[in-house]
Every structure is written in C-alpha cells, then in structure tokens.
Amino acid sequence: MTAPVYLVDDDAGVRDALSLLLSTVGIDVRTFPGPEDFLSALPKLDPGCLILDIRMPAISGLKLQERLTASGVAWPTVVISGHGDIEACRKAFRNGAIDFLSKPVDEQDLIDAIQKGQAALDRAAEADAERRETMALLAGLTPREREVLSLVARGFATRDIAAALDVSPRTVESHRAAIGAKLGTTSPAEMTRLWIEAESAP
C-alpha cells in the first residue's frame, strides 16, 4: 500500500485507535478532527483513501462526501457509523463509498476495505497515465491528420475520407501512414480507441 489514508472523525479515541491499527500494518494515515480541518488541508494532499465518520458536528460525513464528489475529488471512501442507519448507508453507496462499516469497526474489515480502495487508486492512476500518453501522441498530429483520424474513428473508408476532405485517396493514405507512424499503430480499431479516449478525457 502506497497511497495515504485520511481519517476524519470527531472522536479522538476513535482517531487514535484506528490510526494505531493502520500504522501497525504499514499504512500511512493522517487524522483530522473534523471535515473543516480536512477541507483546509485538501489542496496540499496527495490522492488517498478516506475514512469518514458519518455523524460529525457542522458537516456530516455524508455531506463531506457529497461536497468532495461534486468538486471532482473521487477518492475511495469508507464510511463508518456507530448507528447502523440503513438510509445513510444507501446514501453513502450512492455517493460512491466503497464500504460502510459499523462501530466498533472490525479491524480486518477495515483493512480489507482500504486494500480495495488502494487497488481502485492504482487503477485510476494507470488509466490517467494512459490518457496522458494518448493525449501526448495526438498532440503530435497535424490539424489535417487529426481531421483524418476523426473520420477514421467514425468508420469512414479511405475513399469516403477523400471525398469528405476533397483530396485524393492517395493523399488520405499518406496521412494515414503518417498517423500510424506517430501513434504506433495502423489498426483502425486501435486508432479509434485512442481518438475516443482523447475525446472523452476531462
């Protein structure tokens, strides 16, 4: 496990106990006594897993989760509660929580949930790296090559592209060869995948 864990709970006893538990299994954990403290620190925090107490003064764990989701912070979140509120559980999962645990928290359940969160963060990091690589590849295309690629992605054959751009099929083939060399593939399916990935990037 490499990503940090951020524990937000207004109960000092819970913070101390869970922090000690997680640190004994090699997890880097930072604790916050309330959502306001976490939000103040957020701009300087690396992506990590969140453990949120559901009932806290001023801002509840669910409200904090909603606020983070709305601002684009989609970090894996484990919600903990001492009340076992079914409706709150449903809301937490609708907001993207990866687990909902009742206090007193079972140690292994918490560790398993964090491992699940770490795996999700790893997948997100890999996907982000792939998107960045794709964007870098497409940035090397000329405007005309991007036009050709966009039509390839729409399923146009060489003659259709030539007609759409008012150029000869030989010119289109030349552009496609250049695109293939820059992207490292001549497969229309792979070119389409790269184009769609770039177009759907935030």
Condensed to tens digits (0 to 9), the pLDDT of residues 152-172 reads 999 999 999 999 999 999 999
How does pLDDT run across 52-68, given as a tens digit for each residue?
998 888 888 889 999 99
CA angle (127 as vertex; 124, 133 as ends), nearest 5:
140
What pLDDT score does 86 carry?
74
Q: Which residue has the tokens 């497969």?
A: 187
Answer yes or no: are the C-beta atoms of 88 and 65 closer than 8 Å. no
